[in-house]
Chains A and B, each alone.
Chain A
Amino acid sequence: MITLVKRPTPSQFWAYATPLLAVFATMVAGGILFAALGKDPIAAIKVIFYDPLFGPNAAYFRGQLLVKAGPLILIASGLAVGFRAGIWNIGAEGQYIMGALAGASVALAAYPAESHLLFPAMVVAGALGGWLWGMIPALLKTAFGTSEILVSLMLVYVAQNFLAYAAFGPLKNPDGYGFPGSRNLQQYPSAHNPELIAGTGMHWGVVAAFLAVIATYVLMQRHIAGFRIRTAGEAPRAARFAGVVPAKLVMFCLGLSGAFAGLAGLFEVAGPNGQITDSFNAGYGFTAIIVAFLGRLNAVGILLAGLLMALTYIGGDMAQLMLGLPTAAIQVFQGMLLFFLLGFDLLTHYRLRLGRARA
């Protein structure tokens, strides 16, 4: 019989080791899944994890890596701050959509005027759009005590319908021959978020993601606000005695994560995606939750986790192309990763002992 003994303090070693162990276990379990789907598991794992980085067409895929990792890292950085405080914003997908809509609306309103001020204005609008959408659950939580989990999630579906409404209605391209979807911002120089260094996939959104990592690192590790956020998450009562105002914390965390998600949406619509369509959002807001946990809610961890998760996206696309692996298999794979991570986290907080516990 194995019993669990709670560790007095979380194990430093396992805090770093569990994500690696979880990735390894996911590869094994994923391999079994791929084998069950009738694919060679070793080949599938190689196509997903190795080929995009070092395979024959790696030069192209490495660029894609930053394109996919950028929004994931940007959103997850914001979410992790809230998760640390025990504030669960799970509606980042909605904030992402609203940021993209707000930013794109500014661009489409200005069309076809060219100005250097347009893109910065779009960035501000994008952040504001996401921030406002994040403030709805924040205000309802602080004013009425409504669960931010449910409200932020419900707002994802509202945002999705709003996106479809905008794509078919007010933002529809007047020169689009009746097809739904807005003008393509990639063909509008002032509004376009271009690749900054050819072939790297680096665009302003990736820059913003790196800045977000640095900013949240400083905030959480070097600033009193970060200390307060962590205290509020680990010992809410103690935090209140230390002068933390819960309402302010809720507003800050949901506002910050909303703004980051909104920015991610804006950079996506102005850059790699180019266009507001009803299926513009690709689930980054939800995958970012996995990224935040895989990165152990830590800024640097999120950077690495975001890159890894982006790799599974690209590798998944490749595996679909080369092995006929269904796209959904990658979603399952990502879900499994989160399960293993949460399960193995036991080792961080508890020691395993053989034999029965003393009664």
Chain B
Amino acid sequence: MIGGIDIVTLIAALMAASTPVLLAATGELVAEKAGVLNLGVEGMMILGAVAGFATAVTTGSPVLGFIGGAIAGALLASLFALLTQILLSNQTATGLALTLFGLGLSALFGKGFEGIRPPPTTKIDLGPLSDMPVLGPILFHHDWVVYLSLILVAVTWAFLKYSRMGLIIRAVGENHDAAHALGYRVIAVRFAALAFGGALAGMGGAYLSLVRVPQWTEGMTAGAGWIALAIVVFASWKPERVLIGAYLFGGITALQLQLQAAGYAIPVHLLSMAPYVITVLVLVILSATHRHGAPAAPAALGRSFHASN
């Protein structure tokens, strides 16, 4: 205990608190690696939150809930892909539209699901590991989604770094004209990357409504999708650093909640600002140090591809 804050509980809470943004940021990373900037993460997350919640409540199965959330996120991402890849709309504007649309659509679907408790997501019992002092509660006392998110980060890292498909994705993101000339199907690759990103954002949203809160309320993502976007920038488009970024953010969120609970004489609303202020600070520090370094962003990020010439 330091200053009324239990460190073990804090670190354990950190892992759960960062899971939604970790999932969303990993998905967005893949999309951005393919050269598409999808600013609609917030919209996909909140739609995933409501779809996952509704599926879990109606079927009684949280697993199906997470699948439902992932499908909803992927569907919304496909709409983004249709607009930006086939109808060649501006990615920034379309991403914003996706967020506004997702917020509205989720509020519409969410009517009638307010004030219900979802079926509990099972914690994995690792036997003696879970009973270990200190490390047990920190590492081995979580639900399966926390572990799945970690596995997904590792798989994404290996996939982008070592697989042929990962190389193609990076090629498309760095120079779509060259990738096209080599015979790769730029639009199909980007479609798939976006759908994957949407699915992970949807799962992240479902984690919020099924585990973190756990309840459905309108606008419950409260900027988590935007923070996921910031984490991708913070991570310089590297999956392993996404993990650090997400855990840093999760740590601040968890600490802030514990400070509120510990009854410090800081107004609650000022504490609630902390994750956003710190995200800004981290972005600033990062852009200040990377100013003259090698640009880390995929070279074709945000540019439309049209094979006319």
Contact = CB atoms under 8 A, between A and B. Distances in A.
Interface stretch (A124-132, A143-151, A243-251): A143-151
A154 B90 contact: no
Contacts of A143: 288
A98 B226 CA distance: 20
Interface residues of B, number: 47
Contact of B101 (A4, A6, A336): A336
A5 B223 contact: no
A6 B83 contact: no
A329 B111 CA distance: 11
B64 interface: no
A39 B32 CA distance: 40
A168 B90 CA distance: 41
A201 B244 CA distance: 52
Contact of B92 (A149, A155, A158, A335): A149
A337 to B, nearest CB: 9
A238 interface: no
B103 interface: yes
B89 A150 contact: no
Given A144-B288, A158-B273, A335-B97, A345 B89 contact: yes
Interface of B is mostly: helix
Contacts of B218: 328
Interface string A290-310: 100100000000000000000
Interface in A212-236: none
Contacts of A357: 307-308
B196 to A, nearest CB: 22
A37 B272 CA distance: 37
A15 interface: no
B277 interface: yes
B79 interface: yes
Interface stretch (A44-52, A64-72, A159-167, A184-192): A159-167
Interface stretch (B11-19, B154-162, B168-176, B278-286): B278-286
A90 B279 contact: no
A331 B267 contact: no
Given A144-B291, A350-B88, A149 B39 contact: yes
16 contacts: A6-B306, A88-B92, A140-B283, A145-B288, A147-B283, A154-B223, A154-B227, A158-B280, A162-B269, A287-B100, A326-B107, A328-B218, A333-B104, A342-B89, A342-B90, A350-B306
Interface of A: 4-6, 37, 88, 90, 140, 143-147, 149-151, 153-158, 161-162, 164-165, 168-169, 286-287, 289-290, 293, 326-336, 338-339, 342-343, 345-346, 349-350, 357
